[in-house]
Amino acid sequence: MTEGISVADFAAGGEHAAHQGDAESERVYAELDRLWARGCQVLGCDFAIMGGAMTWVSERNLVAAISRAGGFGVIASGSMSPQLLSREIQATQAMTTRPFGVNLITLHPELLELIDVCAAHRVGHVVLAGGLPSNTAVTRIKRSGARVFCFAPALGFARKLVRMGVDAIVIEGNEAGGHIGPVSTGVLAQEILPHLTGVPVFVAGGIGRGEAMLAYLEMGASGVQLGTRFVCAHESIAHPRFKRALICAAARDAVASVQIDPRFPVMPVRALSNPATERFVAVQRRVIDRFARGELSQKAAQLEIEHFWAGALRRGVIDGDIEAGSLMAGQSVGFVTREQSTVEIIEELIGQALAALAARGERTSRWTLRAAPALLGRQGARG
């Protein structure tokens, strides 16, 4: 863990406090070190805090900033071509010498070519998302010398991935933003963490404070992944209107997609409710009525429903169209109250975790607020 930070510099809620004793400081500091040592080792970073891969948001600027701050940034490749991904990796490597990863979608038609791009640029970690990967994909990544991370929605799925040779698992609850599964983070953690000990497991979905991060570490997680908390970082290229929408939102505003007919499944996505969300429900009704009248085949109706959100995330994140764009965000959006630097966000999370640990050992401690030392200033220069 980074030299120079002590729990005595932090008070509950991420505030900084006066020194309360070197011994207590070192004890709490060492405990957090111990809890995420495995995660830090597999990632090769100071703090086992992964940045969630968010399309249009998790690009070179934010990814490099998270890694420079001691966390672990992850490029969201989305639908990038191999050529575009190559440029993005090169640009990120030009901004930091710290480790970062690349998230690849298993259903991408050029998945193997994208893996080869990562190998060519010596990317050390590849995160596969979007379903069960093929043995070919996993083997190809491992042959390049990179570590393979995969998402698992259930214990059985996770065990299958471990048998395939995956190096680490990410479990993400439906509190997360973007594409989600049906199970909450807390339930997934209880289902998987006590029984999957052969590889590091990272927990994601709804984590917005250091106390929650600490709780999952104490349950057996090796680290955590956060996405929504980083969207409004200074280094994020998200449009100011997009950021403002998140800053003004409460947890209840981040809702899952509505499906009105099981014959026409809608992939569940969590985003802030806006006029586009309401129009999507109306579009489904109109399309289904046309199908019932025989004006559309079931396949054509399904495609029309799916096409509604085409390009909507870019309209929200890049263009700042908060009326017609998709405002993907997790329920932790309620903890996003202002624009901050990436360093401040990570410092705040660690401070909250350290303060929670300290409070257990010394319930009667009286904390005196004082100015915080700069997190990175104590670490020395970053690449």
Please state, rounded to an integer, the average pLDDT across all residues of the chain.
91
Alpha carbon 21 to chain centroid distance? 35
More confident site: 3 or 300: 300
Number of Cβ within 10 Å of residue 183's Cβ equals 17
pLDDT at 24: 76
The whole-number average pLDDT for the span 306-318 is 96
Min mean pLDDT across 44-48, 188-192, 307-311, 379-383 is at 379-383
pLDDT band per the 50, 70, 90 thresholds, residue 11:
very low
Q: Which of 21-59 are b and which e, b meaning 16 or more Cβ less than 10 Å from the residue's Cβ? A: eeebbeebbebbeebbebbbebbebbbbbbbbbbbbbbb
Distance CA 13, CA 324 (A): 36
Closest CA to 365 of 7, 41, 48, 58: 7
pLDDT band per the 50, 70, 90 thresholds, residue 3:
very low
Q: Yes or no: say if 200 and 193 are a contact pair by the CB < 8 Å rule.
A: no
pLDDT digits (tens, 9 = 90+) for 349-377: 999 999 999 998 665 344 433 434 444 44
3-state class of 131 per DSSP? coil
The whole-number average pLDDT for the span 179-206 is 97
